[in-house]
Amino acid sequence: MARLALCIGINDYPGTDMDLAGCVNDAQDWAAALAARDYAVTTLLDAQASKAGMVEAMRRVIAAARRGDTVVITFSGHGSYEPDENGDEADGLDEGLCPHDIVTAGHTLSDDELHALFSTRRAGVKLVFIADSCHSGTVSRAATSAEEDETSPVRPRFLPMGNWLPADRLPRQASGRPYAVLPGVSGASAFHSVLLKASGDLLLAGCQEGPNFFSYDARFRGRPNGAFTYFALKVLKELPASATYADWHRELTQRYLPSPSYPQTPQIVGSKTARGRRIFT
């Protein structure tokens, strides 16, 4: 049975004034961890991860999998919202992953599009989606930790709509003016619906969904990383080969996240069967 992986990392967001630092390292770290478990890994970094590039790479890796195969897709970069155009969101906003060319492309890779991509995979293919990004409504700053390089900022991996959407596409108040901050959004994760739970798919996310929840771009011992990626891989190295996804999530949340430095709570979404599978098998 084949093991296939796609690892995406985007630090460079031209035209947004909100570049990140740890996402390329994240992608390379996930790729190394997966390659050590006999995955055939493709990476997509910075300019390679245009919206078209992300769609094509996801389509290709999913199409290559047959019954019994496992596909792992990791994404490290900004998350954002954009106005819902098909009316399926109660809050009027789609969640999305921000591609490198979000300003020129004019759109995220939305939850609707991800759902459509993931739905193309053959029956019996196990799919794991790991997202070290956030899809929240405001921007804040975390404290620094002893393990972090205190000379560098801790940046939420959230790209406000005003940094990439033209004013005529921003959500509007009753007065017709664009919102200065994001209006209240639903606490339920639109990304949860991306997964076909009956088929055993799994989502691991760096933080909760909804207002004021973030995944953080940080620096550990002088090296940039996402806090979720750094600690998730640290825990993974310490787990026995028999450990399940549920074991991984429990150890991560009990030992490392959330913390005073990184107030983010990683999420695991999937069926009981999926959560009980051995990691990356």
pLDDT digits (tens, 9 = 90+) for 25-81: 999 999 999 999 999 999 999 999 999 999 999 999 999 999 999 999 999 999 887
Is residue 193 situated within a structural domain? yes
Q: What's the domain range around 202? A: 3-275
Catalytic residue among 7, 23, 98, 134: 134
Is residue 45 situated within a structural domain? yes
Residue 134 annotated to the active site: yes
Is residue 117 situated within a structural domain? yes
What pTM, to 2 d.p., does this model score?
A: 0.82
**Number of domains into which the chain is organized:** 1
Catalytic residue among 78, 100, 107, 135: 78
Is residue 79 situated within a structural domain? yes
Is residue 84 situated within a structural domain? yes
Is residue 280 situated within a structural domain? no
Per residue in 111-168, pLDDT tens?
Answer: 888 888 988 999 899 999 999 987 533 222 233 333 444 444 456 666 666 666 666 6
Tokens of 215: 């995944």
CATH of the domain at 131: 3.40.50.1460
Is residue 243 situated within a structural domain? yes
Contact present, 192 and 203 (Cβ < 8 Å): yes
Is residue 81 situated within a structural domain? yes
